[in-house]
């Protein structure tokens, strides 16, 4: 398996974990079974997908709970004017569809997902093949105006190629290899669909750890420079230098995966400071923070919610849970007037 295939394969893992957490009652996500990549054996099984250990299900719950909370607070900061979201390396993520399924969804002005062309092409097939998902491409519009485009750079015969871009009034799916993206390429891709004066959030879940540190810095700087009011959320592994982190690295290496983007950020303080680093210049954020999933379990998640999920499965090893959750972090940053509500 090539390194490209290995990186794309991490989305299969995330989708499988999400399916398991949904099936065991940790999360409510009616779209997760639909978006599970059909190339995996578990996808065809649907609700009977392999059950993950309780520790994995709990981690998936905490990650989803905290990121949803941060995004909700971002939209609260936006007020009636609404906001824009750019999800980097989104893969099979269902967040946009989950949000639009709410009785009172937030005011999403634009929601853009960016990923490898192969990944966006696959997701477009899933979206266009399911009438149930089409109404959510626009808000309160049953017959959305959808445009599909093929990427000439990815397919020599673009006329016969599978579409790699989906453009609708709110939801848009675009192809880009973030490993080689310059600020100009990123802006050329995104700015035709975004308003730089509208509050904008970028989301990077298990993305930056697989990218070179300089690319990550460039991406953060680009968003900070381009948008007057900007927030960012990063989720990734933490502590890759300690003994547990070394075990994680060896496991990833056995699958032809490396995490160069995790090396410069061994602790919570360094994760937080990546948003405010003076090296970002005008792209630096004014406020930032970071919490491990263990911290989030102890101080963020409602006690009633912890009690609810605590009844779903037996968990004997609390110390093992603490060890694992302490090695995953959610970091956030914000800049611009009124954006300080983004915190945990």
96 three-state secondary structure: helix
How many CB atoms neighbour CB 230 within 10 A? 25
Question: What length is written for the chain?
Answer: 344
Angstrom distance (rounded) from CA 199 to CA 4: 33
CA dihedral of residues 255, 258, 262, 267 (deg, nearest 10): 50
CA-wise closest residue to 296 among 56, 74, 63: 63
How is the chain split among helix, strand and coil, in percent rounded to 5?
50, 15, 35
- For tokens 């808000």, what's the residue? 139
User: Is 63 annotated to bind ligand?
Assistant: yes
The strand pair at 171-175 and 165-167 is best described as antiparallel
- Tokens 């994760």 found at: 271
How many CB atoms sit inside 10 A of residue 142's CB? Answer: 7
User: Is 205 part of any known ligand binding site?
Assistant: yes
At residue 282, φ and ψ (nearest 5 deg) are: -70, -10
Instruction: Round to whole Å and give the CA distance between 22 and 41.
Output: 18
Residue owning tokens 């980097």:
88
Nearest CA to 228 out of 337, 333, 332 is that of 337
Q: Is residue 263 part of an annotated ligand binding site?
A: no
Q: In which residue are the tokens 């101080």 written?
A: 299
CB 83 within 8 A of CB 201: yes
Beta bridge pairs of residue 214: none
The DSSP 8-state label assigned to residue 114 in this structure reads E
Annotated binding-site positions: 63, 89, 177-178, 205
Annotated binding-site positions for S-adenosyl-L-methionine: 63, 89, 177-178, 205
């Amino acid at each position: 398996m090539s390194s490209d295939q290995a990186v794309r394969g991490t989305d299969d893992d995330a989708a499988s974990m999400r399916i398991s957490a949904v099936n065991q009652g940790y999360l409510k996500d009616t779209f997760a079974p639909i978006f599970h990549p059909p190339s995996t054996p578990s996808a065809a099984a649907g609700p009977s997908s392999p059950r993950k250990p309780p520790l994995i299900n709990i981690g998936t719950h905490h990650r989803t709970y905290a990121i949803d909370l941060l995004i909700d607070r971002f939209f609260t900061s936006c007020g009636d004017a609404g906001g824009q979201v750019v999800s980097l390396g989104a893969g099979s993520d269902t967040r946009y569809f989950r949000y639009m399924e709410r009785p009172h969804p937030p005011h999403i002005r634009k929601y853009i997902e960016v990923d490898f062309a192969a990944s966006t092409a696959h997701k477009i097939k899933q979206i266009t093949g399911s009438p149930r998902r089409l109404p959510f491409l626009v808000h309160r519009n049953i017959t959305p105006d959808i445009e599909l485009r093929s990427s000439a750079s990815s397919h020599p015969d673009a006329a016969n190629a599978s579409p790699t871009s989906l453009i609708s009034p709110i939801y848009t799916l675009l192809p880009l290899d973030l490993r080689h993206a310059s600020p100009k390429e990123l802006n050329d891709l995104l700015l035709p669909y975004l308003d730089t004066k509208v509050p904008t959030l970028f989301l990077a879940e298990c993305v930056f750890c697989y990218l070179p540190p300089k690319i990550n810095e460039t991406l953060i700087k680009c968003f900070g420079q381009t948008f007057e009011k900007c927030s960012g959320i990063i989720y990734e592994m933490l502590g890759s230098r300690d003994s547990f982190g070394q075990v994680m690295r060896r496991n990833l290496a056995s699958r032809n995966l490396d995490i160069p983007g995790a090396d410069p950020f061994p602790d919570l303080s360094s994760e937080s400071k990546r948003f405010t680093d003076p090296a970002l210049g005008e792209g630096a954020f004014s406020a930032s923070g970071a919490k491990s999933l263990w911290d989030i379990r102890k101080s963020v998640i409602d006690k009633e919610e912890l009690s609810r999920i605590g009844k779903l499965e037996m968990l004997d090893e609390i110390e093992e849970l603490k060890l694992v959750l302490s090695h995953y972090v959610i970091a956030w940053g914000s800049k611009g007037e009124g954006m300080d509500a983004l915190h945990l």
